[in-house]
Amino acid sequence: MSTSLLVLCFSTVAFAEDVVEEQDEMVITATRTPGRLGDSPVAMEVIGRSELEGSGADTLAEVLERQPGLQVTRSFRGSALRMNGLDSDYVLILIDGQPVQGRIGGAIDLSRFPVERIERVEIVRGAASAL
């Protein structure tokens, strides 16, 4: 998730804090090359293993339906993903960089992927996600 923050300081007093260096998470999906999440030119979110475990979700469908801009629709075919109002036909789902096969009626059943088998989820929004 990319967030812009504008901070206006009207105070003349400044307080210093110890510098804590955080390592950016490495991502590959957004540009198909290894890089830091903070350097990615596209809007992207990473849901790590600890967040997945803490979510209380059992399936990938349950994890994704909690994300803003994503809608999981359920039917007799299973759970399909809509992104930013686009139908599941326009959503690309990859596992280890490879497109997921097995679309039924244009949708991939996301309820068949248990959370305990997922290391992380990368959500790439916008046209750059078609790389």
Where do the domains of the chain lie, and which CATH numbers do they carry? Answer: 38-130 (2.170.130.10)
Is 91:15 a contact under the CB 8 Å cutoff?
Answer: no
The candidate with the shortest Cα–Cα distance to 57, out of 121, 116, 119, 123, is 116
Q: Residues for the chain: how many in total? A: 131
* pTM exceeds cut of 0.85: no
- In this predicted model, which residue has the larger pLDDT, 107 or 32? 107
CA–CA gap between residue 92 and residue 106 (Å, rounded): 11
Give the pLDDT band (50/70/90) at residue 40. low
pLDDT value at 14 more than 50: no
What was the pLDDT predicted at 38?
A: 58
Read off φ and ψ for residue 80, nearest 5 degrees.
-115, 160
Give the pLDDT band (50/70/90) at residue 63. very high
Mean pLDDT in residue range 20-31: 49
CA–CA gap between residue 104 and residue 12 (Å, rounded): 62
| pLDDT tens-digit map of 72-129 | 888 877 778 888 888 888 888 888 888 888 777 777 888 889 999 999 888 887 666 4
Give the pLDDT band (50/70/90) at residue 42. low
CA–CA gap between residue 114 and residue 58 (Å, rounded): 6
Q: Which amino acid is at 84?
A: N
